Amino acid sequence: MIVIAGSGVAGSYLAGRLAATGVEFRLYDPKKPGFRIPCGYATNEVTFKKYAGLAGLDGDTYIQRRAGSVIITGEGMPELHFPSTGLCTIDKSRFEGDLVSTVRVERRMAPLPGEDDILVDATGISRHYLGAAPEDFTMHTTEYLSGSASHGEFYFRYFSGGHGYYWEFPLEQGYHVGAGSDSAVLIRKSLENIEHSAIMARDLRLRPLFSRMFSGRAVGVGESIGTVSPITGEGILPSIECAELLFQTISHETDFQEIKIKYGNAVRKKFGHYEKLFSLLMDARRGKMAKPASLAVIPAVKKDFRNFGIDLGIVRVLKELLIR
Ligand SMILES: Cc1cc2nc3c(=O)[nH]c(=O)nc-3n(C[C@H](O)[C@H](O)[C@H](O)COP(=O)(O)OP(=O)(O)OC[C@H]3O[C@@H](n4cnc5c(N)ncnc54)[C@H](O)[C@@H]3O)c2cc1C
């Protein structure tokens, strides 16, 4: 029996995929249906539709707003407009609900490890089965649901020195306006005077924890193992893609040791560049960006923004944003 802890996007996607193939599993999550877990809901429409399709859903029906151009700026910089490569917002809560529409979700904390074959840790920041990682790196986030925003478009304002960013993401109605940082002052200042109808907050993991993907019979998926871009905070599609890798592995392999090897290799192959991007973030925080090793990561930065849905394509801007 497979036990899945967590029905966020990673756990729900995996459950939906397993349910369609008749594999036996149990899914646990104490959150109430429809509870809004903090997230900007921004993703890449093209890739999102592909994975929604694999899960038997029509991705088009979840799209809320498509980006025209994307505004990116940093302290002391002008607002720069970039073409979208598919950036949009989706109704993530409804998508997660639909993924598990045929699945019974046990509305409680996942049980302690028992005699189960595989324990899947899809609990995001909590790492219920995997446990804490001493080298973990997270930032605080606060997000408002707001009726208005100062820009009508997708907007990112990076804080200097790798201290996070402020965002405005248009929804079907209203905006997600938020800030993520290791500085409570930066978050508070960015969000003061913004009218809002709801406040959400949680920490976001920015460090890949690929050397801590397994513990006993437990295997991690999604944000629990750090499939979040260290420079954009994108975690929806990476968590879905990670869940697909796990689904493919456990569909073809029953021996847990083999699952560990094959899934571990697949995750490192797909998300290994996050290690480089995390090093870049650390360099930015130490003020040590202007070195050849950091500049060598620029193609990976461009690719990461493109995957998210933004054609950042200007090296000068990356330097402006990140070399501070
Ligand atoms: C403010 C904010 C804005 C963001 N904006 C974006 C964005 O615009 N685009 C983007 O791509 N990414 C964004 N992200 C990142 C993205 O939301 C996450 O990385 C992604 O949703 C992680 O999915 P997950 O399923 O791995 O974890 P989660 O979505 O965190 O799901 C974990 C689930 O586990 C459950 N759980 C916890 N403990 C237990 C337990 N003991 N037993 C059972 N269940 C448990 C929780 O209730 C939760 O439902 C944002 C993150 C934050 C915090």
Q: Which atom of ligand 1 is nearest to 12's Cα?
A: 25
For the chain, what percent of residues have pLDDT higher than 90? 84
Q: Hey, how many other C-beta atoms are within 10 angstroms of the C-beta on 113?
A: 13
**In residues, how long is the chain?**
324
Q: Hey, how many other C-beta atoms are within 10 angstroms of the C-beta on 131?
A: 11
**Greater confidence, 223 or 313?**
223
Find the mean pLDDT for residues 312-317: 65
Q: Which atom of ligand 1 is nearest to 169's Cα?
A: 8
The pLDDT-based confidence of 17 (bands split at 50, 70, 90) is: very high
Alpha carbon dihedral 260, 262, 265, 266, in 10-degree steps, equals -120
Find the mean pLDDT for residues 313-317: 60
Full domain range(s) for residue 123: 2-322
| Cα 46 to ligand 1 centroid, rounded to whole Å | 21
SS percent in the chain: helix, strand, coil, step 5: 40, 25, 40
The total domain count for the chain is 1
Q: Which atom of ligand 1 is nearest to 38's Cα?
A: 1
Give the CATH number, domain containing residue 239: 3.50.50.60
State the Cα–Cα distance between residues 98 and 265, nearest whole angstrom: 30
pLDDT in tens, 105-121: 999 999 998 887 899 99
Q: For residue 80, list its beta bridge partners.
A: 72
pLDDT given at position 185 = 97
Which range scores top for mean pLDDT: 71-85, 226-240, 287-301? Answer: 226-240
Burial degree of 229 (CB within 10 A; 0-12, 13-18, 19+): buried
- The sign of the CA dihedral 97, 102, 105, 110 is negative
Find the mean pLDDT for residues 227-239: 98
User: pTM (2 decimals)?
Assistant: 0.96
pLDDT given at position 99 = 97
| Cα 219 to ligand 1 centroid, rounded to whole Å | 17
pLDDT given at position 161 = 93
The pLDDT-based confidence of 323 (bands split at 50, 70, 90) is: low
- The sign of the CA dihedral 191, 194, 200, 206 is negative
The pLDDT-based confidence of 59 (bands split at 50, 70, 90) is: very high
For the chain, what percent of residues have pLDDT higher than 70? 96
| H or E, element range at 66 | strand 63-66
Q: Which of 85-89, 188-192, 221-225, 312-316 has the lowest mean pLDDT?
A: 312-316
User: Which residue from 54, 56, 2 is spatially nearest to 28, judged by alpha carbons?
Assistant: 2
Residue 168 amino acid letter: E
| Cα 204 to ligand 1 centroid, rounded to whole Å | 8
| Cα 6 to ligand 1 centroid, rounded to whole Å | 9
DSSP E strands in the chain: the ranges are 2-5, 25-28, 42-44, 63-66, 69-74, 80-83, 87-90, 105-106, 118-121, 138-146, 154-158, 165-170, 175-181, 198-205, 214-215, 218-220
The pLDDT-based confidence of 16 (bands split at 50, 70, 90) is: very high
pLDDT given at position 60 = 98
pLDDT given at position 145 = 95
End-to-end CA distance of the chain: 50
Q: For residue 88, list its beta bridge partners.
A: 43, 66
State the Cα–Cα distance between residues 114 and 112, nearest whole angstrom: 6
Q: For ligand 1, atom 40, which residue shows the shortest CA distance?
A: 109
The pLDDT-based confidence of 31 (bands split at 50, 70, 90) is: very high
**Greater confidence, 41 or 193?**
41
Q: Which residues line ligand 1 (CB under 6 A)?
A: 5-11, 28-31, 37-43, 109-110, 122-124, 126, 128, 141, 143, 169, 178, 202, 204, 222-223, 228, 233-236, 239
pLDDT given at position 317 = 61
pLDDT given at position 114 = 84
pLDDT given at position 319 = 56
Cα–Cα distances in Å, from 141 out to 78, 110, 206? 25, 25, 12
The pLDDT-based confidence of 70 (bands split at 50, 70, 90) is: very high
Find the mean pLDDT for residues 262-278: 97
| Cα 47 to ligand 1 centroid, rounded to whole Å | 19
State the Cα–Cα distance between residues 247 and 193, nearest whole angstrom: 45
Question: In a mutational test of the pocket of ligand 1, which residue from 223, 267, 271 has the highest number of ligand atoms less than 8 Å from its CB?
Answer: 223
